[in-house]
Structure 1
Amino acid sequence: RGPRRPTTHRCSFCPYSSVLTTALACHERTHTGNKPFSCRYCKKLFKQNHHLRNHERIHTGKKPFRCEICQQSFAQSSHLLHHQRMHTDERPFVCGECGSAFRRKDTLRVHERTHTGERPYTCETCGRDYADRSSLF
């Protein structure tokens, strides 16, 4: 007898599977829309507990992620990562069409629309289409 193989748990809605029941439960909420985690301050609901924890920092003002270079603090680790790229000028997201490089993936996606002509955001007031959502405001 060798080591036991872990039991694989399968999603009820798609081919996804995991050996972790917690990972499967989290995944299945993407299908069901179930939001079992509630903010203690405003009662907003979340599918994942870590999204709730990130959200609650809006209310508490806690910023546990600190830049070692300039000491600026951030509420979310991803915001610290984006900030640190300002210091290092790291630009890991590269356009396959023209080679332009960007610090953030979302900035690359907006840039790529200059090549494709895609304008997925429509102004409800005037009906014009835009490549970037921020152009609507």
Structure 2
Amino acid sequence: PRRPRRRITHRCSFCPCSSLSATALERHERTHSTKKTFSCGHCKKSFKHPSFLRNHERIHIDKNPFKCEICQHSFAWRYLLLEHQRRHTGERPFVCGECGSAFGRKGTLLVHERTHTGERPYTCETCGRGYAYRRSLFGHRKGLHK
């Protein structure tokens, strides 16, 4: 009878994360690095991940096939065109279940919902004070921790 193969778990050198795939772990470990090793051949921008570089390079080779029929602005991704078109139509499909406020972008709704939940995901490393919005944390740092 064959013995079951033992699965090798690869552990992150920087945090408790682990993966069965060495490639996936390597990709994960790059998130801890400030080093940007993937450079654009058209300009001087560089990125941590090859997929971020590929997305960036689209701006240089005009791969924006999704065009707005109203203002002719074009986009690399269909979802960005749809999001943009809501600005023209005024459509606000994302509605807060708590107060009924409506938003054109899902991310804006998610941020708004913090006003109801009290969630404060942005914390000052200097004094520990928490903020619901990133811009509030930046303002706090600028004003108090120059």
Please tell me the TM-score bracket, short chain as reference. Answer: 0.5 to 0.7
- Judge conservation of contact 2:10–2:20 (CA < 8 Å) in 1: yes
The separation in 2 between residues aligned to 1:5 and 1:73, in whole angstroms, is: 50
Q: Percent identity?
A: 59
1:42 aligns with 2:59: no
1:33 aligns to what? 34
> What is the CA-CA distance between 1:44 and the residue it aligns to?
1.0
Give the RMSD, CA atoms, in angstroms: 3.9
Provide structure 1 residue ranges, at least 5 long, that are not aligned to the other structure: 128-137
Give the conservation status (yes or no) of the 8 Å contact 1:54–1:76.
Answer: no
Instruction: With the length of structure 2 as denominator, give the TM-score of the two structures.
Output: 0.58
Question: 1:83/1:14 Cα in 2 relative to 1: closer, same or farther (>3 Å)?
Answer: same
Note the alpha carbon deviations across 1:72-100, whole angstroms, 9 max, x for none. Answer: 9631355256468899x794x55353254
Whether contact under 8 Å (2:39, 2:45) holds in the other structure is: yes
Bigger Cα displacement from structure 2, 78-87 vs 94-103 = 78-87
Whole-angstrom distance in 1 between the partners of 2:78 and 2:6: 35
* C-alpha displacement of 1:18: 1.3
User: Partners of 1:78 and 1:58 in 2: how far apart?
Assistant: 16
Q: Give the unaligned 5+ runs of structure 2.
A: 68-72, 119-130
TM-score (norm: length of structure 1): 0.61
Cα gap change, 1:123 to 1:32, in 2 (>3 Å) = closer
Question: How many residues are matched?
Answer: 122
**Contact 1:73/1:80, CA 8 A, preserved across alignment:** yes
Per the alignment, do residues 42 and 5 of structure 1 end up closer, same or farther by CA in structure 2, a change over 3 Å counting?
same
Would you say the 8 A contact 2:92–2:105 is kept in 1?
Answer: no
SS in 1 for 2:42: coil
CA distance in 2, matches of 1:77, 1:50: 18
1:3-61 CA-to-partner distances (Å, cap 9, x unmatched) read 53442211011111112222111111111222221111112111111110111112222
